[in-house]
């Protein structure tokens, strides 16, 4: 009898041991997925981390279902909540978050649950709920949870548009994401100098590659392209950024300077980008195309375009990153061709002005269009378009308008005398160009006209106070 009881006790012990091992292995597997997810997040690989969090949630759920009375059930529940939320399934985690907050006995688990609750509330833009959830972890004795809570509190303040509070929270957080978030907050607060200083704190980790590019673009929008260039130079000097990324950042900076009309600065940035990029790399090809765009913007006459076309064609054929050259080869070749009709010549001049941003070339092409057929309806309109593009010839162009085209509705509108004839002339030109011209009643009511000015054209031209769309 004693022997039988002994054998039964042994079997029960063995069964319990096997069950315990199974539980331990399942929980260990869930924790391993969570650990991998955290490591990926630290590297900035958020998409990859989500799949690991989803696996962690599935493993933790299995533990809860099979061992609901285990003393580790609360750990599995909180880990499942974290896995669901950080894999992008906050909606599925809602009831579990509430349960974890109310039933978890351990303070650490409650803090983790509150952090997840705050993350999901922020995702749904329920800012007051996030603030309430962060009250406990912000006072945590654990530096890691407290740091995470500070970062989330900063994001909550950003949603409230309280940038000063957000910056303070980000400064107290040790989260890598808080570095870029602080720079973003400074920019939104319209403090480019402070944002530039915050950018210096971004390390050369690959996780900041997207942040660096985006923040420099935002800095250029807030503080101007020069501020972004200065910040980039300082960043490149102090941070060991890979060559390909350096080339991309310099090319983006050059693009901004080119759009601003800072041609010398743009050319220098493109050349520098080529030196950082590997030979025959996409980054090198893109920068080489940029160099030709500077030459194109500085072109003054059709004769300047042939060598540009030749080089763009070479880049297209030999450089891996030269695919963007295809569009510009087509544009330059279109500019090189001389259309037979006045409307075609006018349209090519518009292309040089609006698509290529080559003011000197566009001005010359408008003058050529006016001279090619002085009796054309396009002639006075082309002269008006040239006024803002070649201001050094303003007086001679104005003289031709007043002498040769004094009766033209365009010349009269230039002097502030709107008329029905102006609308009729616009309709005639539209039919010849094959486009629809939008007109308003102001064109007939004696209103003054604003001459179309591209972003790179001077906004004030001596002697030109009125105009009309060219």
Distance separating alpha carbons of residues 377 and 360, to the nearest angstrom: 23
Angle between helices 263-276 and 282-298 (to 10 degrees): 160
Which DSSP string corresponds to 284-311?
A: HHHHHHHHHHHHHHH--SGGGHHHHHHH
Question: Strand, coil or helix: what is 64?
Answer: helix
Sequence-distant (6+) residues with CB within 8 A of 107 are: none
Q: Check if the beta carbon of residue 270 is closer than 8 Å to that of residue 248.
A: no
Taking alpha carbons only, the member of 17, 21, 34 closest to residue 80 is 34
Give the number of other Cβ atoms within 10 Å of residue 17's Cβ. 10
Residue 6's Cβ-count burial label (10 Å; 0-12, 13-18, 19+) is exposed
Give the number of other Cβ atoms within 10 Å of residue 218's Cβ. 18
**Beta bridge partners of residue 461, listed in sequence order:** 464
DSSP 437: P
Name the one residue in this structure whose structure tokens are 């949630």: 57
- pLDDT score at 10: 45
Tell me the pTM: 0.77
Sequence-distant (6+) residues with CB within 8 A of 393 are: 363, 367, 386
Please report the sign of the dihedral spanned by the C-alpha atoms of residue 228, residue 230, residue 234, residue 237: positive
φ, ψ for residue 464, nearest 5 deg: -110, 100
Radius of gyration of the chain (CA): 33
Q: Check if the beta carbon of residue 75 is closer than 8 Å to that of residue 27.
A: yes
- pLDDT score at 200: 86
* Cα separation of the two ends of the chain: 110
The CATH architecture to which 45-174 belongs is: Alpha Horseshoe (1.25)
Distance separating alpha carbons of residues 458 and 470, to the nearest angstrom: 15
**Beta bridge partners of residue 464, listed in sequence order:** 461
φ, ψ for residue 125, nearest 5 deg: 60, 35
- Averaged pLDDT, groups of 10, the chain, 470 residues long: 46 43 69 88 83 88 76 85 90 87 88 94 96 96 96 97 97 93 96 92 80 95 95 90 93 96 96 91 93 96 95 92 87 92 90 92 94 87 90 90 88 80 77 54 33 36 34
Helix (H) or strand (E) holding 219: helix 209-223
- pLDDT score at 213: 94
φ, ψ for residue 65, nearest 5 deg: -70, -35
Residue boundaries of the structural domains of the chain: 45-174, 344-470
Which DSSP string corresponds to 89-158?
A: -HHHHHHHHHHHHHH--SHHHHHHHHHHHHHHHHHTT-HHHHHHHHHHHHT-S-HHHHHHHHHHHHHHHH
- pLDDT score at 411: 84
Distance separating alpha carbons of residues 266 and 259, to the nearest angstrom: 9
Question: Strand, coil or helix: what is 246?
Answer: helix
């Amino acid at each position: 009898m004693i022997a039988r009881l002994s054998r039964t006790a042994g079997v029960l012990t063995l069964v319990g041991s096997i069950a315990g091992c199974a539980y331990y292995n399942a929980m260990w597997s869930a924790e391993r997925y969570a650990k991998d997810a955290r490591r990926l997040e630290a590297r900035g690989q958020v998409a990859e981390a989500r799949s690991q969090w989803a696996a962690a949630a599935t493993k933790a759920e299995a533990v809860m279902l099979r061992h609901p009375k285990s003393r580790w059930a609360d750990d599995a529940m909180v880990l499942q909540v974290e896995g669901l939320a950080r894999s992008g399934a906050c909606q599925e985690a809602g009831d579990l978050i509430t349960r974890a907050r109310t039933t978890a006995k351990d303070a650490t688990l409650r803090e983790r649950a509150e952090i997840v609750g705050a993350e999901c509330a922020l995702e749904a833009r329920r800012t007051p709920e996030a603030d309430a959830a962060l009250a406990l972890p912000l006072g945590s004795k654990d530096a890691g949870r407290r740091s995470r809570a500070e970062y989330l509190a900063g994001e909550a303040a950003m949603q409230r548009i309280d940038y000063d509070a957000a910056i303070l929270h980000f400064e107290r957080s040790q989260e890598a994401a808080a570095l870029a978030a602080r720079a973003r907050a400074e920019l939104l607060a319209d403090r480019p100098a402070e944002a530039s200083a915050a950018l210096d704190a971004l390390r050369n980790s690959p996780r900041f590659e997207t942040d660096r590019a985006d923040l420099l673009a935002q800095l250029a929008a807030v503080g101007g392209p020069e501020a972004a260039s200065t910040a980039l130079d300082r960043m490149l000097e102090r941070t060991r950024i890979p060559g390909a990324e350096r080339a991309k950042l310099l090319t983006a900076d050059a693009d901004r300077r080119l759009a601003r009309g800072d041609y010398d600065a743009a050319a220098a940035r493109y050349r520098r980008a080529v030196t950082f990029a590997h030979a025959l790399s996409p980054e090198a090809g893109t920068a080489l195309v940029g160099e030709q765009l500077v030459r194109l913007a500085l072109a003054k006459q059709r004769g300047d375009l042939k060598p540009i076309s030749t080089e763009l064609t070479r880049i297209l054929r030999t450089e891996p990153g030269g695919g963007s050259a295809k569009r510009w080869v087509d544009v330059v070749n279109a500019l090189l061709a001389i259309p037979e009709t006045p409307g075609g010549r006018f349209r090519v001049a518009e292309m040089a002005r609006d698509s290529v941003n080559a003011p000197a070339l566009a001005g010359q092409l408008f003058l050529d269009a006016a001279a090619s057929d002085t009796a054309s309806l396009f002639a006075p309109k082309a002269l008006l378009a040239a006024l803002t593009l070649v201001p050094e010839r303003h007086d001679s162009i104005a003289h031709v308008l007043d002498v040769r085209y004094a009766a033209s509705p365009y010349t009269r509108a230039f002097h502030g005398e709107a008329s029905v004839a102006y609308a009729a002339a616009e309709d005639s030109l539209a039919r010849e160009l094959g486009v629809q011209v939008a007109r308003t009643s102001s064109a007939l009511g004696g209103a003054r006209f604003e001459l179309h000015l591209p972003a790179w054209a001077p906004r004030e031209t001596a002697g030109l106070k009125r105009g009309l769309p060219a």
